[in-house]
Amino acid sequence: MSGDGDKGSADDRVFKALASPVRRRMLDALKAAPHTTGSLCAALPDLDRTTVLQHLRVLESAGLVTGRKVGRERHLSLAPLPIQRIYDRWISDYMRAVVDLLDRLDAE
């Protein structure tokens, strides 16, 4: 399989993970500070532990969250590289095109 196909499926997992408002809330919590699984559950009191764990699996599959065991606890952190990859590939080029268009419109 080509490297581009691998990037495409990785990007698909990131977009799928970011499509959920619940998962974006979880990422916001992890952006503010690392959490244990228990403290992340406590930060999302409207969700039961099973739901949080299901969403965590999607985030980890997309590479957006990393977890490591410390004793009995699992410490979770935001992994920003997949979001940077999405920005570099999709957003930055479109942003430049819009800025160029606005610049041309201002010149006219």
Q: pTM of the prediction? A: 0.78
The CATH number of domain 3-79 is 1.10.10.10 = yes
Maximum C-alpha span of the chain: 65
Residue ranges per domain, the chain?
3-79
Angle (CA) 16 20 24, round 5°:
105
Q: How many Å apart are CA 97 and CA 76, to the nearest integer?
A: 37
Which string of DSSP letters, residue by residue, matches 8-63?
Answer: HHHHHHHHHHHT-HHHHHHHHHHHHS-EEHHHHHHH-TTS-HHHHHHHHHHHHHTT
Give 78's contacts (C-beta < 8 A, 6+ positions apart): 27, 30, 31, 34, 64, 65
The answer to whether the beta carbons of residues 61 and 12 sit under 8 Å apart is no
pLDDT tens digits, the chain, 108 residues: what are they?
A: 344 556 669 999 999 999 999 999 999 999 999 999 999 999 999 999 999 999 999 999 999 999 999 999 999 999 989 999 988 888 877 777 777 777 778 887
